[in-house]
Amino acid sequence: MTRLLPLVVTLTWTAACFPRPQTPAAAVPVEQVPPAWAPFRNVDDAPHPGKGGYEWWYYDALFDDGSSAVMVMWDRMMWQEGKTWQELVITDPDGKRHAFRATLPAGSMKHGPLPADGELGTFKVVEERLGEGEDAPRRYRLTASAKDESGTPIALDLTLESLLPPWRWPRTATVGDTLVMGWSVAMPRGTAMGTLTVGNTTRTVSGTAYHDHNWGDADFSEHMAYWYWGRATLGDVTLIFAQIHPATDPLAALKNRSGFPPRDEPGALLYVGRGREHLFQTDAVQITPYQEKYSVKGGRRRPERLVIRGVHDGAPIHVTLEMEREVEALDMLERGTNPLVHLLVHDYLAPAYFRMRSRAHAVFTHAGVTYERTGEGLQESMYLRVR
């Protein structure tokens, strides 16, 4: 204990210097001219080779029976340089989770002729283009097998097919730019059909699907403190949202080469699609967390409710996501951390990740028509630095 005393004092002082912020007051952003639409390019979903940094392909599906599946393939990891990473999480209709995560040596991921073609260990994605042009519909065949934390075999065999055309946030960095943070959404909304296997039981499932791709040349924690992200399907309406909170401590200021996100305020965005068409996108929104409660599995508090407020077409935007169940919680300090150190610093310096299935409600106006929809969503909270 004596040897730990200097560390405990240092960490306690650090935590005191960075007090936990309270839930911010709900302010409605001023409506601005929406950013111009950026054309999606197939290269946005293709590999971006580089040293260090990060790159991953993410797929999720929410099924009609209440189950869900998430599959992620990392070609580069910011936290474990020289490693690739696999993640498979299957949630049963009753909410029971089955998770598998593993690292493999760098260079283990194999890429095929189409942008999202990839194979990493027992995970495989095969892309099929269903038309001509950069924004053509696409189909993905996903297969994966593994064992969860208890040793139970788990597997998926799914086919995802586009409903909405691909979308790219206009400020996404791409090849040729000073690459800091790239994000493209090749499938803002699609259908999912196939099978999930847990143990000796295989179930046929169907539901909605989503796929995006992220890449960059820096460690997130050099310039971000935490973020919220999510997607929602509300009848014929599709929402995608995100809000990035910049790291503001002195160390982050020294390391942040990019100036992104802006250091004085969070960067937020909202995408809205309807049917098979893009409707609008805006950054005149703010995402506010509510009902922060402690997650035993995640080892810290996270919001159970997110509210998105903004302005579009001269009328208010109001979106609410209420957590129904915690799909994933990952305590990144869990392994190998002294319990006393863990207790002292966890809500201040500890990285943690949460993914939640939610009820969603949205009201907005576009082209003079007011829409009100209810549905379901998947939201995440990621904590990287001081929170």
What is the helix, strand, coil percentage profile of the chain, to 5?
A: 10, 55, 35
Higher pLDDT: 132 or 329? It is 132
What confidence score (pLDDT) does residue 180 get?
A: 59
pLDDT value of position 81: 74
18 class by beta-carbon count within 10 Å (0-12 exposed, 13-18 middle, 19+ buried): middle
What pLDDT, on the 0 to 100 scale, is given for residue 294? 85
Token representation of residue 169:
């946030």
Distance CA 225, CA 207 (A): 33
The residue among 367 and 176 whose pLDDT is bigger is 367
Of 186, 215, 188, 192, nearest to 205 by C-alpha is 192
| Closest to 78 measured CA to CA, from 50, 100, 58, 99 | 50
Q: Give the CA angle between residues 115, 154, 190 to the nearest 5°.
A: 40
- Element (DSSP H or E) covering residue 213: strand 201-216
* Four-point Cα dihedral 333, 336, 339, 340, nearest 10: -80
Answer whether 55's CB lies under 8 Å from 75's CB: yes
Angle between helices 5-17 and 339-349 (to 10 degrees): 20
pLDDT of residue 19: 39
- Whether the bond between 113 and the residue before it is cis, its omega within 30 degrees of 0, is no
Distance between CA 304 and CA 217 in Å, rounded?
Answer: 32
Q: Is the pLDDT of residue 358 over 50?
A: yes
Question: For 212-241, what is each residue's pLDDT tens digit?
Answer: 999 887 677 667 788 899 999 999 999 999
Q: Residue 187: which region, alpha, beta or left (left: phi > 0; alpha: psi -120 to 50)?
A: beta
* pLDDT(261) > 80: no
Say which residue, 269 or 3, is predicted with more confidence.
Answer: 269
pLDDT of residue 1: 41
pLDDT digits (tens, 9 = 90+) for 275-310: 999 999 999 999 999 998 888 877 778 899 999 999
Name the strand (E) or helix (H) holding 347: helix 339-349
Q: Which residues contact 27 (CB under 8 A, 6 or more apart)?
A: 286, 309
- pLDDT of 372 strictly over 80: yes
Least confident of 25-29, 83-87, 148-152, 329-333: 25-29
Enumerate the β-bridge partners of residue 145.
155
Lowest average pLDDT, out of 12-21, 112-121, 149-158, goes to: 12-21
